[in-house]
Amino acid sequence: MDIDSFYQDGDMSFGMDGRINFADEYAYARGSSGPSRADQVASAYPITDNCVTLENSIANIETEIANNNQKMGNPKTKRGEKRVLNDYNNLLSSHKVKMESAYKAGNCQILKTQAQDQSFLSQLSQTVGASANALKGGTAGAGTTGKDKTMTYVLYGLGGLMVLGLGVMVIKKMRG
């Protein structure tokens, strides 16, 4: 076969898949490396403005660090692998600190507490409403008696005290 037949129509691939430049594909063979470990960690756990994503990523990082520590504690793990795992743990820890600072900067804990308080209040109002309706239903057409009103007010008072207590706890957590 004549070598000139490979050059026809500008095809310089010599029967390969048509790509001429393999520099990027085989860069590791010349001593170049792919993305660094820090880049891998940053891409696996991106820092976003979404509080739920940040919280889940922080939990996943803690789990990954625990798994790496468990692997390093295994006597069958070789020195090179332990070194790599330790390097990843250091990178994960430093990235976790960055994520926690983004979590604090976004006031995510306060937003989470407010959402929990709102959920609690809605459940409390449903419970109080159900209790009040049950009391009213028990008197079957007799109207609202003083006893029913008193019970409703007591339940509202207890709910208010619980909300006040939660507010005090949140303020103490923010200051302490």
Residue 49 DSSP SS3: coil
Over residues 112-145, the pLDDT tens digits come to 888 888 888 888 777 777 666 666 665 444 455 6
Q: Judge contact between 62 and 96, C-beta under 8 A.
A: yes
Binning pLDDT at 50, 70 and 90, where does residue 159 land? confident
Tell me the pTM.
0.52
DSSP assignment, residue 17? S
Asked if the model's pLDDT at residue 150 lies above 90, the reply is: no
Listed by start position, the domains of the chain span 36-105, 108-175
